Chain A
Amino acid sequence: MMVSDVEATTTAPALDIDALRRDFPILQRRIHGKPLVYFDNAATSQKPQVVIDCLDNYYKHYNSNIHRGVHTLSQEATAAYEGARHKIQHFLNAKSPKEIVFVRGTTEAINLVANSYGRTNIGQDDEIILSEMEHHANIVPWQLLCEQTGAKLKIIPINDQGELLLDKYAELFTPKTKLVAIVHVSNALGTINPIQSMVKIAHQHGVPVLVDGAQATPHMKVDVQALDCDFYTLSSHKMYGPTGVGALYVRQSILEDMPPYQGGGEMIQWVTFEKTTFNEIPFRFEAGTMPIADAIAFGTAIDYLQSIGLDRISQREQALLHYAEQQAADFPGLRIIGTAQHKASILSFLLDSIHAHDVGTILDNEGIAIRTGHHCAMPVMQHFHVPATARASFSFYNTFAEIDQLFEALHKVREVFAR
C-alpha cells in the first residue's frame, strides 16, 4: 500500500519532506506515546521555526509601538509592519498596499465589511447572495446586518457532491442584489469554487463580490486581480503564521469610500470635540494598537510559503488527497462527504453509523489529530442530514505513511464498535 514520498511527487521538483518537517518543532511531539500525526490543518496549521523566531526576535530586539514614535525602535517596528503589508499585497497580487487592511482574521474581516460597507450600501429589502456551504463566519455577520437593515439573504444551493449549482446562482440576481459573499475553498467539504466565473456573472449585474479565502491561501496561488473580486479575506494562523492576525483585501476604489469600522487611535487625522477627520486607507480601518509582532510574523510565514512555492505545495497536497481518497474508496463502511471535482486537501467522512466524536477519540489515542463536529458549517451538515463528520485535512508536511496510519487506526475504530 505504501508509496514513498519521492515517488508520488515525481511530477514536481521533489520537495525534501523530511527537511520541511524538521522546520516544525511540534511535529516531534508524541501523543499517548505515539508520534503526533497532525491532520487538523484546516482548523489551524502548525508553525515553522522561522515564524516562532520572528516573534521572539521582535520582542527581544525592537518591540515598540508603530507609526507614532520618532525613536529607532518604533521606526524599525513600523518598517517591519509595513513590510508585512507589502508581502501580503504581493502574495495576493493586489495593485497597492493601500488595499490591504490588517485584521484579527477572516471573521473580523467579514464583520468589518458587513458593518462598514454593508451599512452604507445595503438597505431595506436589498439582497445578499451567500451559498449553502459557507462557514458561520460568512453567514452570521450578514444575518446581523439583515436584522439591522431589513435586507435579505439568498442562498446558492449545492448538489450532493458538494458543488455549487451555478445555474441556480445566476438566477438569484435581481435589481435588489447588492453583494455576493462566497467561500473560495469550503472548510467542511474541500470544494474549490469557480470564483473567477462567479465574479464575472456578479459584475455583469453590477454586484461586488466578497471571497472568504481562509481555506484557499494555505493551499494555492491566489491572484485577486485575476479573480477580479472586490473583497478577499485571509487568516494568518491557517497559513503557518501566528493566531490573532489576518488580512482583508478591498479594491481601492471601494475602500476609499468605506466609513471607519472602529474608532480610536491611529485611525484619525485630527480630532477635536466638534469633529474628527479620519486617516487615509488602510490606516482608517486599523484602530488602536494592532498585533504588531503577529503581523510581522505573518509576513515571515508568507515568505516561508513562497520559499517552498505554492505550486509545489498544491501538487504535494493533491497527491496526499488523492492517496487518501483511494484508500477511503476501498475502506468498508466509509462514506466521503464532499466529492467535488475540484478539491483542496480536505477529507470529510463518516464511518458506518459511528459518531465522529467517537472516531476522533479513538484516533487521538493513536496520536492522530483530526477535527470532528459540524466544522462551523451547520447548513452543510443539514444538507447531508448528518450531525457531524470526521475531517482529516492535509498539509504538505504530512506523509503518505501518516495516511496509512490513519486508515489502520480507522480499522481499530471499527473493531471497538463491532463488539
Chain B
Amino acid sequence: MSDLRELYQEVIIDHNRHPRNFYKMEDATQQIDGINPLCGDKITIYLKVVDNVIQEASFQGTGCAISIASASLMTDSLPGKTIQFVEAIFKKFHDFITATDKPTNTEELGKLNVLGGVRDYPARIKCATLAWHALHAALNESSEPVSTEDKSL
C-alpha cells in the first residue's frame, strides 16, 4: 500500500472531499469545459482575468479524486498570477508529473507537489492534467470544450 499512499496523499483526499473554489462564477471573463471521454468526466473552469492577471478562479463538475483535487489545487494557486506565469507553471507541472525520474527543484510548484504520485500511474496522468488543459485553452481565448483525447494534448 506504500505507493498508494503516495498517490492518494492526505491533501488529495482532503481536496477531493472538500474541493476549494467549487462554484459557478456568474461574472467570469472566461469559461471552458474540460472533458475526459474515456470516463465521462466533465469539469467547467471559470476565470476572471483583468489586465493579464487572474483575479479569481473556480470550477464545477464531476471526476475522480485526482482530477477534482488537481482542479481544486490549481484554482487555489491562480489568483494574483499573470497569464505568462501560469502558463510557465503549467509546463513545469506537466513535466513534473510525466518525467520518468522523480524531478528535483520543484519548490516552485508549491502544493502541486502532492500530485507527484501520479507519475507511477500512467493511466491517471490525464486525470491530473484535465483542469490544466482546460485552463490553458481558456487562457488562449478558446471556448471549445477541451478533451483529454485531443491529439494535440
- CB <8 Å contact, A388 and B40: yes
Chain A, 333-361, contact with B by CB distance < 8 Å: what is the 0/1 string? 00000000000000000000011111001
Q: Does B23 contact A (CB under 8 A)?
A: no
> Please, how many angstroms separate the alpha-carbon atoms of A139 and B32 in the complex?
28
Whole-angstrom CA separation of A387 from B127 in the bound complex: 14
Q: Which of B40, B66, B68, B121 contacts A378 (CB 8 A)?
A: B40
Contact with B along A355-383 (1 / 0, CB 8 A): 11110011001000000111000100100
Q: Closest CB-CB distance, B84 to chain A, in whole Å?
A: 33
Instruction: Determine whether the beta carbon of B4 is less than 8 Å from that of A362.
Output: yes
Beta-carbon contact of A381 and B40 below 8 Å: yes
Partner of B41, one of A354, A387, A419: A387
CB pair B127–A417 under 8 Å, yes or no, is no
Interface hits, A129-162 → B, CB 8 Å: none
Q: B10 contacts which chain A residues (CB < 8 A)?
A: 419
A1 within 8 A of B: no
How far is B4's CA from A419's CA once the two chains are assembled, in angstroms?
13
Q: Given A361-B123, A417-B13, are A355 and B40 neighbors across the interface (CB < 8 Å)? A: no
What residue in chain B is nearest A354 (Cβ atoms)? B65
**Residue in contact with A358 in the complex, picked from B1, B3, B42, B64, CB distance below 8 Å:** B64
Chain B residue contacts of A362, Cβ below 8 A? 4, 8
Q: Name the residue in B3, B8, B68 with the highest tally of chain A Cβ atoms < 10 Å from its Cβ.
A: B8
1/0 per position for B111-130, CB-CB distance to A under 8 A? 00000000001011001000
State whether the Cβ of A412 lies closer than 8 Å to any Cβ in chain B: yes
Nearest A residue to B121, CB-CB: A361
The complex places the Cα of A291 from the Cα of B71 at a distance, in Å, of: 45
> Is the pair A365, B3 in contact by a Cβ cutoff of 8 Å?
yes
Which one, B4, B42, B63, contacts A365 given CB within 8 A? Answer: B4
> Scoring B residues 54 to 88 as 1 if CB is less than 8 Å from chain A, else 0, what string do you get?
00000000111110100000000000000000000
Nearest-Cβ distance from residue A36 to partner chain B, whole angstroms: 17
* Interfacial chain B residues near A358, Cβ < 8 Å: 8, 64-66
Instruction: List CB contacts (< 8 Å) of A5-24 with chain B.
Output: none
Would you call B123 and A388 a contact (CB within 8 A)?
no
The reply to whether the CB of A416 lies closer than 8 angstroms to some CB of chain B is yes
Determine how close the nearest CB of chain A comes to the CB of B56; give it in whole angstroms.
26
Q: Does B13 contact A419, Cβ atoms closer than 8 Å?
A: yes
Residue of A nearest to B10 (CB): A419
Q: How long is the Cα–Cα vector from A361 to B42 in the complex, in angstroms?
A: 19
From A357, A417, A419, B39 is in contact (CB under 8 Å) with: A357
The answer to whether B7 and A361 have CB atoms under 8 Å apart is yes
Can you offer 9 A-B residue contacts whose CB atoms are under 8 A?
Answer: A355-B41, A355-B62, A357-B39, A357-B66, A357-B127, A365-B1, A373-B38, A381-B40, A417-B13
The 7 A-B residue pairs whose C-beta atoms are closest, nearest first, are: A355-B64, A357-B64, A374-B40, A373-B39, A387-B62, A387-B40, A358-B65
